Amino acid sequence: MRQLYILIQKEFIQIFRNPLLPKLIIIFPIMVMLVMPWVTTMDVRNVGVTIIDEDCSSLSRHIISDIRAAEYFSLNDNVKTHNEALTLLEDCKVDAIVLIPRHFERDLLSQDPQKLDISANAVNATKGMLGSQYLILTIGSTLSNYNNHLTAAKTSDLIVIQNRFNPTLNYRHLMIPALMIMLLILICGFLSAINIVSEKENGTIEQINVTPIGKVTFILAKLIPFWFIGLFVVSIAMIVAWAVYDLSPTGSLGSIYLATILFILGFSGFGVSVANLSDNIQQTMFVMFFFIIIFVLLSGLLTPISSMPEWAQNFTTILPPRYYIDIMRAVYLKGSTIADLWPNFVALGVFVIVFNALAAFTYKKQS
C-alpha cells in the first residue's frame, strides 16, 4: 500500500511540475466548453433560399410570403435570373433555389400543370435534405390553402409534435455531453499513453523494472492519477455547461460519475497498453491519434450511429465511448437511471477489465 501511495505521489508531482500539463488540464476543458458548443449545431433554421418568380401571380406571391414567414428560411430576394441564383448557390451563399415557372397559377388545375422547381445544394447532406423537405412542406401547405377544396385536411393542424427531453430542440444540449466525452478521450487517452512512453524513452522505466515493485502496483499508480484528472475535467465541464449553457443533468450525478470512473479507468488502461507496445513517443502518439480519432468520429458523438451502414453500426459495438455517450446523454437529457442503462454500464465494465488486463499483460518487467 505504501509503495502504491509513494508511486502515485510521484506521478502527481511529475504532472504538476510539467510546464504544460497543469495548464492543459485546467484551461483546455474550459476553452473547449466555452467555444465549441456554439459551433455544434445542425439547426436547419437558416436555410438560405432564393426564389425566381417567373409567374408573378398572386399564388407565387403567396408562396414567397409563406417562405419568408417560415422560421427555417432566410430569403435572399435580390436575384433576377436563374444564372445569378446558381452563382449564389455555387458560392454557398444560398442553399436552395425555388423556381416558379411562368403560368404556374394558370395551369395549376389544368390537365398538364407546370412544375415548380426546387434545387438544393446537397453537399451538406443534412441541410440539403432537411431544407428541401421543409420547402416541400411549406409550399405544399400554401398550395393546399390556395386550393382549399383539393385537400382533405391541413397536416400542420392535424398533428401536434411533442419533443421529449429537449423540447426546444437545442442541438447544443445534445452536443455538450459529447464534448465532455471528447475532452476525456483526449486528455486521458493521450496523457496516459505519453506518461508511460516517456518513462520508456528516458530510461527510468528500466530502473523501476529492476526493483521488486509489482506489475499491478505500477500500472495502478499510472492509472489512478488519471481518475482524478478525468473526474476533475468532467466536473469543470459540467460546471461550465451549467453556468454558461444552463444545462444540468436531469438524472443523478451519481450515475454520471460512476460511468465516468469506469470509462476513464478503461480508457487510460488502453492508453497504457498502446504505450507498452510502442517504441517511442512519436509512435505512441500516432497510434493513439489513430484510435482516438476513430473513437471520436464513430462513437456517435458527432454524427448519429443510426445513420451509419450496418457493418459500421456493428463495428461501433466495440468502441467504449459509444456506451458512455449513451449514458451521458440519457442521464443528462432524459433523466435515465442506472437501472435503465445497466447494459451500458456492464459494457463499460467489460472494457475496464479487458483494457486493464491488456495493460498489465503488455507491461513486461522481464523481456
Partner 1 sequence: MNNTVISVKGLTKRFGDFTAVNCISFDVKRGEIFGFLGANGAGKTTAMRMLCGLSYPTSGSGTVVGFDVTREGEKIKRHIGYMSQRFSLYNDLTVWENIRLFAGIYGLSKAETIERANEILARLDITSERDTLVGSLPLGWKQKLSFAVATIHRPELVFLDEPTGGVDPITRRQFWEMIYEAADNGTSIFVTTHYMDEAEYCSRVSIMVDGEVRAIDTPTRLKEQFAAESMDEVFRILARGAKRGD
Partner 2 sequence: MKQKFSSFIKKESLHILRDVRTMMIVLLIPVVLMILFGFAISTEVNNLNVAIVASNHSESVRQVADKLSANPYFSFLGYIDNSDIDIKLRKGEVDAIIVFDKDYDRLLSQRSQGVDTPPAIQFIFDASNTNIAQTGAAYLQNVISSDLTHQEMLNLHLLYNPQMKSAYNFVPGIMGLIFILICAMMTSVSIVREKEVGTLEVLLVSPVRPIKIILAKMVPYFLISCINLATILLIARYLLDVPMSGGMGGIITISIIYLILSLMLGLLISTIASSQVIALLVSAMVMMLPMMMLSGMVFPIENLPTVLKPLPYIVPARWYIEAIRKLMIMGLPFSAVLKEVGILIFMTFAFMGIALKNFKNRLE
Residues 177-206 within binding reach of partner 1 (CB under 8 A): 202-204, 206
Evaluated on CA atoms 297, 300, 303, 305, the torsion sign reads: positive
Binding residues for partner 2 restricted to 95-134, rule: CB under 8 A: 108, 113-130, 132-134
Written as nine digits, the cell of 199 is 518513462
Residue 289 sits in the site that holds partner 2 (CB under 8 A): yes
Number of residues that bind partner 2 (CB under 8 A): 113
Residue 149 sits in the site that holds partner 1 (CB under 8 A): no
Residue among 10 and 106 whose Cβ is closer to partner 1: 10
Q: What is the dihedral of CA 350, 355, 358, 360, to 10 degrees?
A: -100
Rounded to the nearest whole angstrom, what is the least distance from the CB of residue 261 to partner 2 in the complex?
A: 22
Contact residue for partner 2 among 4, 30, 36, 261 (CB under 8 A)? 36
Rounded to the nearest whole angstrom, what is the least distance from the CB of residue 221 to partner 2 in the complex?
A: 19
Closest CA relative to residue 353, chosen from 265, 254, 281, 258: 265
Residue recorded with cell 400543370:
113
Closest CA relative to residue 67, chosen from 143, 128, 129: 143
Burial class (CB in 10 A: 0-12, 13-18, 19+), 96: buried
From 5-13, 226-234, 255-263, 295-303, give the range in contact with partner 2 by CB under 8 A. 295-303
**Per-residue buried b or exposed e for 140-174, using 16+ beta carbons within 10 Å of the residue's own CB:** ebbbbebeeeeeeeeeeeeeeeeeeebeeebebbb
Residue among 65 and 211 whose Cβ is closer to partner 2: 65
Closest CA relative to residue 33, chosen from 143, 177, 153: 177
Rounded to the nearest whole angstrom, what is the least distance from the CB of residue 15 to partner 1 in the complex?
A: 10
Asked whether 145 and 63 are in contact (CB, 8 A), the reply is: no
Contact residue for partner 1 among 144, 209, 252, 313 (CB under 8 A)? 209
| Per-residue x/- track, 312-331, partner 2 (CB under 8 A) | x--x----------x--xx-
Residue 20 sits in the site that holds partner 1 (CB under 8 A): no
Q: Say which residues have a Cβ less than 8 Å from residue 160's Cβ, sequence separation at least 6.
A: none
Residue among 61 and 215 whose Cβ is closer to partner 2: 61
Rounded to the nearest whole angstrom, what is the least distance from the CB of residue 222 to partner 1 in the complex?
A: 14
Binding positions for partner 1, rule: CB under 8 A: 2-3, 5-7, 10, 13-14, 17-18, 202-204, 206-213, 365-367
